[in-house]
Amino acid sequence: MRRWRKLLLPVSWIYGAIIFLRNYLFDIQFFKSVSYDFPVICIGNVSVGGTGKTPMTEYIATLLRKKYKTAILSRGYKRASKGFVLANENISVEKIGDEPFQYFKKLKGVAVAVDEDRRHGISELKEVLHPDVILLDDAFQHRKVKAGLNILLTMHNDLYTNDFLLPAGNLRDLKSQAKRADVILVTKCPLDFSSENQQQIIQQLKVQPNQKVFFTGINYKNEVFSNTSSLLVDTLKEKEITVVTGIAHPEPFLKYLSEKGLSFKHYKYPDHHNFSASEIEGLKEKDFVLTTEKDFVRLEKQLDNVYYMPIETTFLNNKEMFDALVLDFVAINS
């Protein structure tokens, strides 16, 4: 935590008191949580962004779509629309948001919808599409819905147990709420993360007996893509590269590019950044723009010189156990 943010601890205590009261009222059922008689899986966190929800949602959707009619329901952060919107071939990134648009483009056969009211979104999906399973993207704090399986993500080098509530830290919910998770995924681990390091993290997380813990890392493709072509990463060493990121934690991406021997200038923007006309004009003047897959969906129609590098989630161990856990949950509750 940056030193100046410690000055905001009194505000965090006030925020914490409000969050505590809200959770307590749900716990005693003064506020009602709705359960469902079909599989609903929540993929979320207790911190603000950057834990790897998007690739994990893609991973689970890809796992399930082979056998089940799968739908993803997201809030659609920073979208230029309200209410329930179901993605179709004519949808735009502005209307549903960057992450849902990425899901829709990438996950063929998976329905994608957005709704800030998750209850209403679930009802609409069931009425219109009758999916076998619904994945709730980033809904761990949305307690009006009680998912059948809660998957909580936390970065290996930024565990929620070591953080503070907003605004002094990056937690948007109490650490104690992690008890509601059925599965804890420790994300963005180095691919050679040792079993000793994994055990140390499990101890720090103070895992409940009923909770399963898995460790994942990020695999970067050795190829970058535009809408019309692809290039091997090794061929980029002679280019003047401008790296553009609008994600919470671009550090692993930048580290990978450096390790591949690429030289670049980095333009860092806030998470889910909507690029202004002047920013787009400035990027048009660059020789070669490289960005993340999530940022690409906001830039592809505005730039001819932009490529993205895909990523995928990889399990350090126990992948088959995780897959079976998810598949068994859906089978039993279908």
Domain ranges of the chain: 37-218+314-333, 222-309
Residue 11 CB partners (closer than 8 Å, separation 6+): 167, 168
Q: Using only the alpha carbons of the chain, give its radius of gyration.
A: 20
Alpha-carbon separation of residue 180 from 131, 149, 155 (angstroms) = 25, 10, 18
Domain 37-218+314-333 belongs in CATH node 1.10.3720.10: no
At 143, phi and psi to the nearest 5? -80, -5
Tell me if 37-218+314-333 shares its fold with 222-309.
yes
* Residue 181: both structure tokens together: 């998770």
> Is the overall model pTM greater than 0.85, yes or no?
yes
| CATH class given for the domain over 222-309 | alpha beta
> Is residue 320 scored above 90 in pLDDT?
yes
User: What is the DSSP secondary-structure string of 137-195?
Assistant: ET-TT-TTB--SEEEEEEETTB-GGG--BTTTSSBSS-GGGGGG-SEEEEES--TT--H
> Residue 224 region, left (φ>0) first, then alpha (ψ -120 to 50), else beta?
beta
Percent of the chain predicted with pLDDT > 70? 99
For residues 205, 9, 138, 220, the Cα torsion angle rounded to the nearest 10 degrees is: -70
Grouping H, G, I as helix, E, B as strand and the rest as coil, residue 270 is coil
Alpha-carbon separation of residue 267 from 158, 193, 273, 287 (angstroms) = 23, 30, 12, 14
> Is residue 136 scored above 60 in pLDDT?
yes
Q: Please list the alpha-helical segments (H only) found in the chain.
A: 9-27, 53-65, 93-96, 98-106, 118-128, 195-205, 251-259, 277-284, 293-299, 319-333
What is the structure's pLDDT at 5? Answer: 81
User: Distance (Å, rounded) from C-alpha 139 to C-alpha 217?
Assistant: 22
For residues 193, 194, 200, 204, the Cα torsion angle rounded to the nearest 10 degrees is: 20
Cβ proximity of 1 and 165 under 8 Å: no
User: Which parts are annotated binding residues?
Assistant: 47-54
User: Within a 13 Å sphere around the CA of 144, how many CA atoms are in the beta-carbon half?
Assistant: 7
26-64 pLDDT, tens digit per residue, is 999 999 999 999 999 999 999 998 899 999 999 999 999
244-292 pLDDT, tens digit per residue, is 999 988 999 999 999 999 999 999 999 989 899 999 999 999 999 999 9
User: Distance (Å, rounded) from C-alpha 111 to C-alpha 125?
Assistant: 9
User: Which parts are annotated binding residues for ATP?
Assistant: 47-54
Percent of the chain predicted with pLDDT > 90? 94
Q: Is the bond leading into 250 cis (omega within 30 degrees of zero)? A: no
